[in-house]
Structure 1
Amino acid sequence: MLENFSALTDGLPPALIYLMIAALVFAEAALFFGFVLPGETAIVVGGILASQHRLSLPLLLVIAVVAAVTGDSVGYEIGRKLGPRLLTTRVMVRHESKVSKTQDMIRRRGGLAVFIGRFTALLRALMPALVGMSRMPYPKFLLFNFIGGVVWVGTFTLGGYFAGTAFEHVAKLAGQGLAVGVAVVAVAALVVWHFRKKKREEAEEAAARLEHERQETVQS
């Protein structure tokens, strides 16, 4: 498994790898890339590469935190500028029920919603723009965004780092073949869980849209 990660970045200078990770983390909320590729994928891989001494772990942590906070700040500004028009965009209409739940969370929890939202891929993409639209003061948003960013980056980057270190340790003790087999099973389980979760969320979205359309029909 680690060999596959290495192959993807073979020949790339560390500066370019840092840039790629920063771009993916930044774009998650700033450009709504979180609907397609969760940012933790990038920082987990970065942590694995740091365990191979391909990257500096402290520098990776700093770069990822800066990218996360900056990307969310751009998302916040987009929401503040667009205001209610944000809700008419395709991405917001497509995830209407999630948008409604996120808005309710912001109303009930305020800044804490920013921190909580950092740990769910869909909320990470939605939260900054919706908070900006809600007119939460930027200093308050920035405080909770920074705290959430530090905890999120630390958790997933170090998770990747220690997973990479553990893999190398298992490979030495049990042999490369067994270690690869364990890694393949773990990744397969993670993929199955991810697609089941995505399918469940899509079903919930479809049910919410049908209910919304039914209510509109009844009212008309």
Structure 2
Amino acid sequence: MLDTLQHIISDLTPYLHQYGYFILALAIAVEGVGIPAPGQSFLIVSGILAAGGQMSLPGVLLVAGLSAFSGNCIGYIIGLRFGDVLLKKGWVKPQTERRLHGFIERYGMIALLLSRFIEGLKQTMCIGCGIAKLPLKTFLLGNLLATVSWVLLFGVGPAILRHEMTPLLTFYHSHQLLMWAIGTLVVLGGAVAIWLWQKKRSANSC
């Protein structure tokens, strides 16, 4: 894993030196419209470079946050306005649409929040929210929570832990099951909190 991180840093740093915040914004934004791109990797490397003074950390966080949020909104609008076209063209299968409807209607913002950290879902969930006609207010709030959580974890985290990255990755490599268990508990805890909030809000509106 350490070798993988060093490989990512060495591969992406020249692009950030040459194109700066533009390549960071582009890579992150296009993921929201269903196009696979190394947005998360660019964010991690940008955070590390910012910690070394080669980029501005506030600039990195602002660009990443705005790009993620706006890219997701574009994906939502595409799903909302052109969902029928995607289905007719066969780009979205009917069974996939049914699963999306069921999943999003059941979990709402929780699905949007968790998908931000899962490759594949991260690129398609916002389009799926549009196809499933997720209410705009629910989408915007979920998008905001997902974007802020993601930017803080993968932007601020690497900047703060730059010097501790090697021992942390070594520890992670030696205790992967423990770290995954802790991460799962944290995510589930946040998901349950959002679900309880939604349930309480629904009860109050009745």
TM-score under structure 2 normalisation? 0.68
1:29 and 1:75 in contact (8 A); partners too = yes
Cα 1:108/1:160, change in 2 over 3 Å? same
1:43–1:157 contact (8 Å) kept in structure 2: yes
Q: CA, structure 1 residues 56+125, in 2 after alignment: closer, same or farther (shift >3 Å)?
A: same
1:111 and 2:113 correspond: no
Tell me, in whole angstroms, the C-alpha distance in 2 between the residues paired with 1:134 and 1:109: 12
Answer yes or no: is the 8 Å Cα contact 2:32–2:124 preserved in 1.
yes
Q: Does residue 1:75 correspond to 2:75, yes or no?
A: yes
Alignment-derived partner of residue 33 in structure 1: 35
5 Å-filtered alignment, 1:126-141, equals: 126-141=124-139
The 5-angstrom pairing of residues 48-63 of structure 1 reads 48-63=48-63
Query: Structure 1 residues 7, 107: closer, same or farther in 2, change over 3 A?
Result: closer
Radius of gyration: which is bigger? 1
Q: Among residues 20, 24, 32, which one is paired with 1:21 in the alignment?
A: 24
| Contact 2:100 2:132 (C-alpha < 8 Å) held by counterparts | no
Corresponding residue for residue 192 of structure 1: none
More helix by share: 1
* Kept after mapping to 2: 8 A contact 1:51/1:165: no
Letter in 2 for 1:69: F
Amino acid in the other structure paired with 1:33: I
| Residue 104 of structure 1, CA deviation | 2.4
Q: Quote how far apart the aligned CAs of 1:141 are.
A: 0.8
Q: How many residue pairs end up in the alignment? A: 169
- Identify if the C-alpha distance between structure 1 residues 101 and 39 changes in structure 2 by more than 3 Å, giving closer, same or farther: farther
Q: Percent identity?
A: 29
* In 2: Cα distance, 1:59 partner to 1:120 partner: 25
Asked whether the equivalents of residues 118 and 149 of structure 1 are also in contact (C-alpha less than 8 Å), the reply is: yes
Unaligned runs of 5+ in 2: 177-206
Name the structure 2 match of 1:43.
43
Does the residue aligned with 2:82 lie in a helix, a strand or coil? Answer: helix
2:92 is paired with a residue whose SS is helix
Amino acid in the other structure paired with 1:21: L
Question: Structure 2 vs 1, CA of residues 98 and 108 (structure 1 numbering), >3 Å: closer, same or farther?
Answer: same
* Residue of structure 2 in register with 1:154 after alignment: 152
Tell me how large the CA RMSD over aligned residues is: 3.2
What letter is aligned with 2:51?
S
Letter in 2 for 1:17: G
- Classify the secondary structure of the residue corresponding to 2:20: helix
- Structure 1, gaps ≥5 residues long: 171-181, 190-220
Output the TM-score relative to the length of structure 1: 0.64
